[in-house]
Amino acid sequence: MLVLIADDEPDMIKILKAYFEKEGFQVVTAQDGEEALERFYSNPIDLAVLDWMMPKVSGIEACKEMKEQGTAKVLLLTAKSEHEDEYMALQAGADEYIRKPFDTRILMLRVKKLLQMDNKLVAHDLVVDLDGQKIHKNGQDLHATQKEFQLLRQLITNKGQILSRKILLDRVWGFDYYGDERTVDTHIRRLREKVGEHIIKTHRGMGYSLVDGHE
């Protein structure tokens, strides 16, 4: 899922970008409302996180245009605390409104609720639905097998770690499975064909890992 973060404070952009990428989201950024709208029109944005007070075009103006022209969710950030301001934000079409300063953990929980991702994992352009046990790529069901689903789930939940074939066999096939470890290679190959060759990295003689969004 692709998130647009727009704020005229570089430090705020840096912090938010790090948190969103840690959760598996892809991120594009903007430092004013005009640039935010340019990003919106040139990218398939799922969520826009907009600061209210931005130069050129305010966050609330950008929000209104985005809601009129697309289907992206919009979350407004503001240092304003008046109830009238919250009313204006909602009138402009904002789906969520959070006052600064805020706890980033709470922000991420609200984002996931807003995107109906309470029980989903994200990585690159993939969404792993833990309840439905499905993998979606750009909104399309990949019709993954149960083993493919479980393999990707393991790789995403252990992001940054190399999982050996033995570990994947134990966690996906079960400790009582006595087949050849090469069955992991076969299923990884089929999974790659569905999710994209660049998503899963092979570490020779060691195992597999999820490719970080920065690589």
pLDDT tens readout for residues 85-109: 777 877 788 898 888 888 888 888 8
Q: Which two tokens stand for residue 27?
A: 């991120």
pLDDT at 142 over 60: yes
Taking the C-alpha atoms of residue 31 and residue 16, their distance in angstroms, rounded to an integer, is 13
Taking the C-alpha atoms of residue 26 and residue 48, their distance in angstroms, rounded to an integer, is 12
Angle between helices 83-91 and 59-69 (to 10 degrees): 30
The answer, as to whether pTM is greater than 0.85, is no
* Omega cis (within 30) before 101: yes
Q: What is the pLDDT of residue 33?
A: 95
- Where do runs of H (alpha helix) occur along 73-145? 83-91, 104-114
Residue limits of CATH 3.40.50.2300 in the chain: 2-114
Taking the C-alpha atoms of residue 172 and residue 148, their distance in angstroms, rounded to an integer, is 9
Q: What is the pLDDT of residue 167?
A: 92
Taking the C-alpha atoms of residue 92 and residue 12, their distance in angstroms, rounded to an integer, is 23
What's the CATH fold of domain 2-114? Rossmann fold (3.40.50)
β partners of residue 99: 78
Residue 81: pLDDT band (50, 70, 90) is: low
Mean pLDDT, rounded, of the chain: 89
Domain 125-210 - what CATH class? mainly alpha
Q: What is the pLDDT of residue 42?
A: 94
pLDDT at 214 over 60: no
Residue limits of CATH 1.10.10.10 in the chain: 125-210
Run of H or E including 6: strand 2-6
Residue 155: pLDDT band (50, 70, 90) is: very high
Average confidence (pLDDT) over 59-81: 90
